[in-house]
Structure 1
Amino acid sequence: MSSSQDKNLPATAHRLKKAREEGQLPRSKELSNLAVLGGGAVLLMLLLPMGFSRLQAALASQLRFDHGALLQPQLLVERLHDSLGLGLVVFLPLGVATLALAVFAAFASGSWTLTTHTMAPDLTRLSPLAGLGRLFSKQQLFETAKLAVMTVIVGFVGWKFLSSHIAGFASLLLQPLEGGLGQLAQWMRTGVGILLGVVTLFALIDFPMQKFLHAQRLRMSREEVKQEHKQNEGDPHVKGQRRRRQRELAHRMSIGAVPKADLVVMNPTHYAVAIQYDDATMSAPRVIAKGADLLALRIRDVAKDHKVPVLQSPMLARALYAHAELDQEIPSALYTAVAQVLAYVYQLKAALAGRGAMPGAAPDPQVPPELDPHWKQPPTRGAAE
């Protein structure tokens, strides 16, 4: 495979946007676990004193029976209803807050998006080859290695913690109930703190690693970048043809402006350019119509019908057609040449109106040769030799 096909280029902005719309985002499970476990532990510690006392009172009440309660079974149902309500009051805020922390962690890490793409059926997921590829992908290998290391570390830490408190666990049976529960709560806080420390360590490693693996999955080859550019910007050949058709349409529509021109420069049949100049409103002459071949002949006929002078100047006509845009001022390099033909036209109009003598032969305007598309630079002396 050639190097141009290797996916060694970073994903473009369009590729990243498309991946996000499809639900492909870097997600760190350990970061979510840290938010849920850490937030849940803090909330549990805050709610535990109040909840424990209320649950203790409710349990004592539920375990107290008298002869009347045994004769009225509906009282047992009411007690059960009260117990369930108390449980919801104590634990529902904990569940809602934990869920909110999980959502907040997803938002904070940038791995949250609303999309239905992941719910759409994808037959490629049923392919054994695709499944085998995912099984040995970098993502899966990293997840497997992470799970193995995490299992070893958590197991080792748990074993050290339990082995250091094994004697204390045995002594709990000899302690009063309140003292034993307090000691057990202290050990639980210590154990949860150690567990959160381990999860925090893995989250700090997992989050940047997930971003790196996500970027690796979205890397593109040069051919993919080119294809995306074509899809976004359009095929250059098609765009060129479209622009050419637009120019031709604009040129055909510009024929209506020919009667307002001061003169038309031709070549003599291939190109025609209509020029207008008003020294009161324009800083330089403007091209108000131009065309080639049949359109050039049409411009010439319209000019003759409206008594607009038509001047044969092949080199100037080619230069204006190639370098002057429609409804724009002529290039500054052609000011002198256009001024020469305009002066001739103004003298001709004045003579025809009886305000002066007829001008001589039509001028040969001075056009820079490099502006003529048909001009070929003569070979240098060294090249000729």
Structure 2
Amino acid sequence: MADSAQDKQLDPTEHRLRKAREEGQVARSRDLSHFGVVAAGLAALATAAAPVAAWLTQLMADGLRFDASTVATPRLMLERLVTLMLPAIGFGLVICLITGVTAVASGVLSGGWIFTMKAVMPNFGKLNPLAGLGRIVSKQQLGDTLKACALALILGIVGASYLWAHVEDFVLAQSMALPLAIETTVARMASGLWLLVLVLAAAALIDVPLQRFMHRSRLKMSHQEVKEEFKQLEGNQEVKGRMKAKMREASRRRMLAAVPTADLVVMNPTHYAVALRYDEASMGAPRVVAKGADLLAMKIRDIAKESKVPVLQAPPLARALYAHGELDREIPFALFSAVAQVLAYVFQLRHALAGRSPWPADLVPLDIPPELDPHHPSAVPPTTEPA
């Protein structure tokens, strides 16, 4: 069952906002675009007011100047009209270019730059007349219509009030000389337009945050939608759990397969086991090839005994190596001395068992930094189990 509007009370997630943006759904303010276009066009006209007024005066004077030959030849009238209109067309194109660039800039300012084809792709679902009727009478369309009507009413009232206040100036312009009349009329119209620009600016200041609020409101989500999105992003938790279990099992098998290559297994004596390997030619320090706790520790010990790898009972060292050593990485620097001590002892023990050297003296207690031992016990003299 689809979630009702009352259920969608949660703010949209970043993924929802990003997906809507990719589809071209962003907060756009039409009032900001209207303000930018009108203000830019009026500013361009104000900048060129003096030359435009002179040009209009000259244009009217040239347009009203003709002789008998011009009247007798209609083709000359047409050519003259084209000559007079070309500058006007050029000026109009410049104004259109300025307002067009301003319109694009206003859209980018309110919603950012987006390049997507999804907004213009055909959607046959919009051909459904019932769905179209629903969009027409929706709260969003009703709100936009009322807002546009209110803005048009305010602009009409402001414009009518301005014209009523300056109607005498426009009437007096008829009795002025043509250049002065044009100049006066243009100045009065510019003042009125700037007043309308102020109204559009106020509307844009209100509409920009309003559109952003409405955009986020339209994208609000229900609890079910948030859960579904989380599942899509994170994947099915049961499947991920099985995959992680298989990865752990594969890693465990690889680790146990590396135990026979170890030179020593350090134990605690039954809770932790860490297998170490050291090759003086290729390693700068001993590496952890396997480690485990409880049953896995027992498995490492059994494989070590089957492979004739020495097993050393050194609880503080085993705990420190298990807590701070990483698989296939060198042991921590603070444990170099203790590990070197036990490796030297094991190598001497191997030579003694092979009859190549005398039996080594008992191994002295190991110096393990207390901060590396999770249980912080005092150092315990290690004992060695026969391989």
Same fold (TM over 0.5): yes
The answer (yes or no) to whether the contact 2:273–2:300 under 8 Å persists in 1 is no
Q: Which residue of 1 aligns with 2:14?
A: 13
By how many angstroms is 1:70 displaced? 5.7
The 3 A distance-change label for structure 1 pair 222 and 339 is: farther
How many residue pairs get aligned? The number is 351
Structural mapping, 1:110-149, within 5 Å: 110-128=111-129, 130-149=131-150
The 3 A distance-change label for structure 1 pair 323 and 227 is: farther
For the residues of structure 1 that align with 2:179 and 2:117, how far apart are their CA atoms?
52
Q: Which residue of 1 aligns with 2:244?
A: 243
The answer (yes or no) to whether the contact 1:27–1:210 under 8 Å persists in 2 is yes
Q: Which residue of 2 aligns with 1:198?
A: 199
Long gaps (5+) in structure 1: 360-367, 371-385
* AA matched with 2:247: Q
The answer (yes or no) to whether the contact 1:255–1:289 under 8 Å persists in 2 is yes
By how many angstroms is 1:273 displaced? 6.8
Q: SS state of the match for residue 27, structure 1?
A: coil
Q: Which residue of 1 aligns with 2:383?
A: none
For the residues of structure 1 that align with 2:179 and 2:56, how far apart are their CA atoms?
14
By how many angstroms is 1:17 displaced? 1.6
The 3 A distance-change label for structure 1 pair 42 and 358 is: closer
Q: Which residue of 1 aligns with 2:366?
A: none
Q: Which residue of 1 aligns with 2:54?
A: 53
For the residues of structure 1 that align with 2:213 and 2:139, how far apart are their CA atoms?
11
For the residues of structure 2 that align with 1:246 and 1:323, how far apart are their CA atoms?
22
Using the TM superposition, name which of 254-263 and 112-121 deviates more: 254-263
The answer (yes or no) to whether the contact 2:304–2:310 under 8 Å persists in 1 is no
Structural mapping, 1:319-330, within 5 Å: 326-328=327-329
The answer (yes or no) to whether the contact 1:31–1:203 under 8 Å persists in 2 is yes
Q: Which residue of 2 aligns with 1:178?
A: 179
For the residues of structure 2 that align with 1:211 and 1:148, how far apart are their CA atoms?
21
By how many angstroms is 1:77 displaced? 4.8
By how many angstroms is 1:224 displaced? 2.4
The 3 A distance-change label for structure 1 pair 78 and 168 is: closer
By how many angstroms is 1:33 displaced? 0.6
* AA matched with 1:201: A
Q: SS state of the match for residue 288, structure 1?
A: strand
Structural mapping, 1:232-311, within 5 Å: 232-254=233-255, 257-263=258-264, 274-276=275-277, 281-282=284-285, 286-289=287-290, 304=306, 307-309=308-310
By how many angstroms is 1:122 displaced? 2.0
Q: Please give the TM-score of this superposition, normalised by the length of structure 1.
A: 0.70
Q: Deviations over 1:147-178 (max 9, x none)?
A: 23223322332332333334444444444433
For the residues of structure 2 that align with 1:2 and 1:29, how far apart are their CA atoms?
30
Q: Please give the TM-score of this superposition, normalised by the length of structure 2.
A: 0.70
By how many angstroms is 1:195 displaced? 1.3
For the residues of structure 1 that align with 2:224 and 2:331, how far apart are their CA atoms?
42
The 3 A distance-change label for structure 1 pair 50 and 167 is: closer
Q: Deviations over 1:84-111 (max 9, x none)?
A: 3212332222111111211222222234
Q: Deviations over 1:209-254 (max 9, x none)?
A: 1111111112222332333233233333333333333333344445
Once superposed, what is the RMSD of the aligned Cα atoms?
4.8
By how many angstroms is 1:140 displaced? 2.5
By how many angstroms is 1:52 displaced? 3.4
* AA matched with 1:116: M
The answer (yes or no) to whether the contact 1:33–1:199 under 8 Å persists in 2 is yes
